[in-house]
Structure 1
Amino acid sequence: MGDRWRVEVDRSLCIGSAQCLHHAPDGFRLDSARQSHPLAPDTDANERVLEAAESCPVEAIVITLGDSGEPVFPPEE
Protein backbone atom coordinates (compact mmCIF):
# COMPACT_ATOMS: atom_id res chain seq x y z
CA MET A 1 0.00 0.00 0.00
CA GLY A 2 1.37 3.45 -0.96
CA ASP A 3 1.60 6.66 0.99
CA ARG A 4 -1.44 8.81 1.66
CA TRP A 5 -1.09 12.56 1.31
CA ARG A 6 -2.89 15.53 2.78
CA VAL A 7 -3.07 18.32 0.17
CA GLU A 8 -3.85 21.90 1.17
CA VAL A 9 -3.82 25.25 -0.61
CA ASP A 10 -2.93 28.36 1.35
CA ARG A 11 -5.59 30.76 0.08
CA SER A 12 -3.66 33.75 1.40
CA LEU A 13 -0.86 32.87 -1.04
CA CYS A 14 -2.79 31.54 -4.05
CA ILE A 15 -2.71 33.98 -6.99
CA GLY A 16 -4.89 31.90 -9.33
CA SER A 17 -2.17 31.15 -11.88
CA ALA A 18 -3.89 27.80 -12.61
CA GLN A 19 -0.56 26.00 -12.94
CA CYS A 20 -2.01 23.34 -10.64
CA LEU A 21 -4.82 22.73 -13.13
CA HIS A 22 -2.32 22.46 -15.96
CA HIS A 23 -0.30 19.76 -14.16
CA ALA A 24 -3.09 17.96 -12.28
CA PRO A 25 -6.49 18.79 -13.80
CA ASP A 26 -8.11 15.96 -11.81
CA GLY A 27 -6.55 17.20 -8.58
CA PHE A 28 -7.53 20.87 -8.35
CA ARG A 29 -10.23 23.37 -9.24
CA LEU A 30 -10.48 27.15 -9.17
CA ASP A 31 -13.44 28.79 -7.47
CA SER A 32 -15.16 31.98 -8.64
CA ALA A 33 -12.45 34.05 -6.91
CA ARG A 34 -9.78 32.10 -8.87
CA GLN A 35 -8.57 30.42 -5.70
CA SER A 36 -7.33 26.85 -6.02
CA HIS A 37 -8.80 23.98 -4.03
CA PRO A 38 -7.74 20.32 -3.95
CA LEU A 39 -10.53 18.06 -5.18
CA ALA A 40 -9.42 15.31 -2.79
CA PRO A 41 -7.57 16.78 0.22
CA ASP A 42 -6.76 13.25 1.42
CA THR A 43 -5.40 11.27 -1.50
CA ASP A 44 -2.96 8.59 -2.55
CA ALA A 45 0.55 9.82 -3.37
CA ASN A 46 0.37 11.13 -6.92
CA GLU A 47 3.17 12.41 -9.17
CA ARG A 48 0.86 14.85 -10.96
CA VAL A 49 -0.21 16.48 -7.68
CA LEU A 50 3.46 16.79 -6.69
CA GLU A 51 4.22 18.39 -10.08
CA ALA A 52 1.36 20.83 -9.49
CA ALA A 53 2.78 21.82 -6.11
CA GLU A 54 6.28 22.20 -7.54
CA SER A 55 4.97 24.38 -10.39
CA CYS A 56 3.03 26.78 -8.16
CA PRO A 57 4.80 30.14 -8.51
CA VAL A 58 4.06 31.11 -4.89
CA GLU A 59 4.30 27.65 -3.26
CA ALA A 60 0.70 27.85 -2.10
CA ILE A 61 0.23 24.07 -2.30
CA VAL A 62 1.37 22.12 0.76
CA ILE A 63 1.58 18.32 0.76
CA THR A 64 2.16 16.31 3.92
CA LEU A 65 2.14 12.60 4.68
CA GLY A 66 -1.34 11.75 5.90
CA ASP A 67 -0.30 9.54 8.79
CA SER A 68 2.61 11.55 10.23
CA GLY A 69 2.18 15.09 8.93
CA GLU A 70 5.78 14.97 7.64
CA PRO A 71 6.27 17.47 4.81
CA VAL A 72 6.41 16.20 1.24
CA PHE A 73 6.32 19.64 -0.40
CA PRO A 74 7.70 22.13 0.17
CA PRO A 75 10.52 20.17 1.75
CA GLU A 76 11.85 21.24 5.11
CA GLU A 77 14.99 23.27 4.75
Structure 2
Amino acid sequence: MNCENIEYLKNGNSRQKQAYCILSEKGILSKLKIFDPILVETIPIDIDIENSDLDIICCFADKQCFIKQ
Protein backbone atom coordinates (compact mmCIF):
# COMPACT_ATOMS: atom_id res chain seq x y z
CA MET A 1 0.00 0.00 0.00
CA ASN A 2 1.34 3.41 -1.00
CA CYS A 3 -0.10 5.99 1.39
CA GLU A 4 0.66 8.77 -1.07
CA ASN A 5 -1.55 7.24 -3.78
CA ILE A 6 -5.17 6.26 -3.10
CA GLU A 7 -5.63 4.16 -6.26
CA TYR A 8 -5.58 0.96 -4.20
CA LEU A 9 -8.91 1.98 -2.64
CA LYS A 10 -10.66 1.42 -6.01
CA ASN A 11 -10.27 -2.33 -5.55
CA GLY A 12 -10.97 -2.48 -1.82
CA ASN A 13 -14.09 -3.16 0.18
CA SER A 14 -17.26 -1.07 -0.25
CA ARG A 15 -16.20 1.64 2.22
CA GLN A 16 -12.78 1.92 0.59
CA LYS A 17 -14.39 2.25 -2.84
CA GLN A 18 -16.75 4.88 -1.47
CA ALA A 19 -13.81 6.80 0.05
CA TYR A 20 -11.99 6.66 -3.29
CA CYS A 21 -15.02 8.00 -5.15
CA ILE A 22 -15.57 10.86 -2.72
CA LEU A 23 -11.92 11.92 -2.69
CA SER A 24 -11.59 11.59 -6.46
CA GLU A 25 -14.87 13.27 -7.44
CA LYS A 26 -14.22 16.24 -5.16
CA GLY A 27 -10.55 16.44 -6.14
CA ILE A 28 -9.61 16.89 -2.51
CA LEU A 29 -6.10 15.48 -2.68
CA SER A 30 -5.41 17.36 -5.91
CA LYS A 31 -6.48 20.62 -4.29
CA LEU A 32 -4.13 19.94 -1.38
CA LYS A 33 -1.25 18.68 -3.53
CA ILE A 34 1.16 21.49 -2.63
CA PHE A 35 0.78 20.42 1.02
CA ASP A 36 1.78 16.76 0.45
CA PRO A 37 -1.56 15.26 1.60
CA ILE A 38 -1.68 11.72 2.94
CA LEU A 39 -4.84 9.80 3.81
CA VAL A 40 -4.31 8.40 7.31
CA GLU A 41 -7.15 6.68 9.09
CA THR A 42 -8.94 3.39 9.56
CA ILE A 43 -10.82 2.99 6.26
CA PRO A 44 -7.71 2.42 4.08
CA ILE A 45 -6.38 -0.27 6.41
CA ASP A 46 -9.78 -1.98 6.78
CA ILE A 47 -10.21 -1.54 10.54
CA ASP A 48 -12.92 1.12 10.34
CA ILE A 49 -16.11 1.21 12.34
CA GLU A 50 -19.53 2.53 11.36
CA ASN A 51 -18.79 6.19 12.12
CA SER A 52 -15.18 6.31 10.91
CA ASP A 53 -14.29 9.37 8.87
CA LEU A 54 -11.55 10.31 6.42
CA ASP A 55 -8.49 12.02 7.88
CA ILE A 56 -5.92 13.74 5.71
CA ILE A 57 -2.64 15.06 7.06
CA CYS A 58 -0.77 17.84 5.32
CA CYS A 59 2.56 19.61 5.65
CA PHE A 60 2.94 23.37 5.34
CA ALA A 61 5.41 26.10 6.23
CA ASP A 62 2.98 29.02 5.86
CA LYS A 63 -0.17 28.63 7.96
CA GLN A 64 -1.98 31.50 6.22
CA CYS A 65 -1.30 30.01 2.80
CA PHE A 66 -2.75 26.70 3.99
CA ILE A 67 -5.84 28.37 5.44
CA LYS A 68 -6.48 30.30 2.21
CA GLN A 69 -6.20 27.14 0.14
TM-score by length of 2: 0.27
Between structure 1 and structure 2, the one with the greater Rg is 2
TM-score where L is the length of structure 1? 0.26
Query: Does 1 or 2 have the higher relative contact order (CA < 8 Å, sep 6+)?
Result: 1
Q: Which has the higher strand share?
A: 1
